[in-house]
Amino acid sequence: MPSIVTVLVLAPMIGALIAGLFGRRIGNIASQGVTTGLLFLSCALSWYVFGAHTWGGMSDFTVKLLDFINIGTFQSAWSIRIDALSATMLIVVTSVSSLVHLYSWGYMAEDPSRPRFFAYLSLFTFAMLMLVTAADFMQLFFGWEGVGLASYLLIGFWFNKASANNASIKAFVVNRVGDFGFALGIMTVYWMFGTVNFAELFPMIEAKAGTTWMFLGYSFSAIDLACFLLFIGAMGKSAQFFLHTWLPDAMEGPTPVSALIHAATMVTAGVYMVCLLSHMFEYAPVAKMIVAYVGAITAIFAASIGFTQNDIKRVIAFSTCSQLGYMFFAAGIGAYQAAMFHLFTHAFFKALLFLGAGSVIHGMHHEQDMRKMGGLYKYMPITYAVMTIGTIAITGLGIPGTQIGFAGFFSKDAIIESAWAMSQTPQGMFAFIMGLSAALLTSFYSWRLAFMTFHGKKQWEHAHDDHHAHAEAHGNDDHADAHGHDDHGHHAHKPHESPLIMLVPLLALAVGAVAAGFIFAPYFVGDHAHDFWGHAIFTAPNNHVMHDAHHVETWVKFAPLVVTLLGLVLAWFFYLKRPDLPKKMAANEGPLYTFLYNKWFFDEIYQATLVKGLRAIGNVFWKIGDVKIIDGLGPNGAAWSALKAAKNLVKTQTGYVYHYAFVMFLGVAGLLTWVVFWLAA
């Protein structure tokens, strides 16, 4: 087994090196084949390890690869840790990544830089695998920064686009803010416990839970401080409220990148980290409360924005932000198992929705505005079917008390029921209300996307007619040839279904979106949960939230179904029955619509305060500190004066002997004169 997990983790890195270093020599097909083949190998081995751990009775273990840092008491090693948490994340990461690799064969078929793209994808996957199998904070931090680097490379993959470059820089900078807190959290942990190794750290937490830190005469709980700082890192990586602004702009990367970031890698790292550190968070009540509030606010905040966006990828991006909020408030109220279950099911239906959106964009010849779609179900029947499955899964449709429901039904309801089980606390009640409200909005904007894209009038026909009317008015109607094809060889009138190489991953993910819930619910949150999670997730003796969640009132179990159906009916009314109403609301540009459409004006506020403020501070240090003081006293001051003096002095060096003899004569005469006057005195 140690050799299997070693191959499992290192295979994507080998693929990234081959495609990245030798891609131009071996060509596009070979680069795609090597990276994709190694990812499917990792995926197969991941499912084998997961099966052996879940059903085969395999115990937790750690494989040490090599030493990393050995300085005094600070010891860190490259290792692969296998337990229920890491085994779950292995199948999530490798399953989605391998299907994204395969999907990219079709989606990126016309891109000349495919070896670079597939190298970046595999590098992204390797960094995430190192993160989820880390046995200490240093390797966790390495994987944490690795996915940040890979996301920067992939979001800005089309570097000729200014918007892609700006989006990649924004993602990188915002994540550095969170990572600064994460690094401080790791330092605090080492200061408290003298180790960064999880196996050594976790048994020590209960004994040192009362450790305090004095600052400005005030006493703070050290473990609360450590967990809060670590959570700041999670807020950046998982795009939580205040540090979420990079996520919508990340849509500038190719659609397969969006699917990988949102479903299986970067944004799930923060949720995984909080659940991994449940041993710490269980003794940090203030930090847990902050996690619950931030997650609940994020869930409703992102959902409120989702139903005003018109870019198909941007709607799904905000849905990711909202669903991550669900996961965090679940962890914040102590329902770590439910949080991980939602992370698991979310990976399938979110990857399905993103890749389905990519199929729509491909079939619509790179059109992303849903207002220019409509009526596509006839032309893209498979894409329509799988995206409908994804929509049902994300909205959580299902019948409470039965096994009838898609993946999101089981995990989302488990979170909402857990929140109600903690409703005696302020954060539990707040999370329940926000979670139920977000479920209503999620249903509305998800079905809005489905109806605007696949049903209603064929807006793309009107857009094409408008284009031709404009062309005829200017005497230029040569956009399409006599056969109705445009300059790129695509049909100028009708959308088309995507190629089989893109549809196969969609069908595979659709199976997960349907079945992942009822198959794995008993292991994640059901009767077998205690045996499944083992020691990977720790719950304190007073934490009964998962037990109580199974015994909530009947109305609590049916409340998510009611709001989900209400959202479906509202979306049907506004976008199929009366599609003129949303257009009028948008045209009126009322204050609420403007507020939501502009994403609560976070970008504008940050631009006006932080960006301009930091730029002003930078200008002070540059123009005054650097140019006037440092350059003025240094290169433009003393150095300039010395250079000027040297230039004048060098003129005295003529090279003629009689000039030097004359100067020597003057020197001797001057010396003799001084001696004579000295003797006379």
Contact status, residue 456 vs residue 374, Cβ threshold 8 Å: yes
Q: Which of 70-74, 216-220, 465-469 has the highest mean pLDDT?
A: 70-74
Provide the pLDDT for residue 482: 33
Within 10 angstroms of residue 407's Cβ, the number of other Cβ atoms is 33
Structure tokens at 259: 């699917």
Residue 674 has pLDDT above 70, yes or no: yes
Question: Who contacts 69 (Cβ-Cβ below 8 Å, separation ≥6)?
Answer: 75, 76, 138
Q: Taking all residues of the chain, what is their mean pLDDT, rounded to a whole number?
A: 88
Residue 665 has pLDDT above 60, yes or no: yes
Residue 632 has pLDDT above 80, yes or no: no
Provide the pLDDT for residue 208: 85
3-state DSSP assignment of residue 380: coil
Largest separation between any pair of C-alpha atoms in the chain: 124
Q: Is 211 left (phi over 0), alpha (psi -120 to 50) or beta?
A: beta
Residue 186 has pLDDT above 50, yes or no: yes
Quick one: which of 618, 621, 602 has its CA closest to 170? Answer: 602
> What is the rounded CA–CA span in Å between residue 117 and residue 299?
32
Please name the residue ranges forming H helices in 241-311.
246-249, 255-263, 269-276, 278-281, 285-306
Q: How confident is the model at residue 485 (pLDDT cuts 50, 70, 90)?
A: very low
> What is the rounded CA–CA span in Å between residue 268 and residue 92?
10
Q: 461 or 271, which is more confident?
A: 271
Question: Who contacts 631 (Cβ-Cβ below 8 Å, separation ≥6)?
Answer: 637
Q: 545 or 484, which is more confident?
A: 545
**pLDDT tens for each residue of 239-266:** 898 888 888 888 888 889 988 888 878 8
* Three-state SS annotation for 457-496: CCHHHHHHHHHHHHHHHCCCCCCCCCCCECCCCCECCCCC
Provide the pLDDT for residue 130: 95
Residue 376 has pLDDT above 70, yes or no: yes
> What is the rounded CA–CA span in Å between residue 70 and residue 77?
8
> What is the rounded CA–CA span in Å between residue 95 and residue 350?
13
- Mean pLDDT lowest among 63-77, 377-391, 638-652: 638-652
> What is the rounded CA–CA span in Å between residue 430 and residue 420?
9
**pLDDT tens for each residue of 615-625:** 888 888 888 88
Provide the pLDDT for residue 483: 35
Q: What's the CA angle centered on 583, arms 577 and 586, to 5 degrees?
A: 135
> What is the rounded CA–CA span in Å between residue 302 and residue 317?
9
Contact status, residue 456 vs residue 576, Cβ threshold 8 Å: yes
- Amino acid, single-letter form, for residue 451: F
3-state DSSP assignment of residue 95: helix
Q: How many percent of the chain have pLDDT more than 70? A: 95
Query: Taking residues 650-655, what's their average pLDDT?
Result: 78
Provide the pLDDT for residue 475: 43
Quick one: which of 663, 679, 606 has its CA closest to 245? Answer: 606
**pLDDT tens for each residue of 546-601:** 999 999 999 999 999 999 999 999 999 999 888 888 888 888 878 888 888 888 88
Provide the pLDDT for residue 239: 86
Alpha-carbon separation of residue 297 from 248, 431, 433, 497, 558 (angstroms):
17, 8, 10, 39, 23
Strand pairing class (61-71; 218-221): unpaired
Residue 494 — φ and ψ, nearest 5°?
-105, 135
Residue 488 has pLDDT above 50, yes or no: no
> What is the rounded CA–CA span in Å between residue 530 and residue 321?
29
Structure tokens at 538: 């720790």
Residue 139 has pLDDT above 90, yes or no: yes
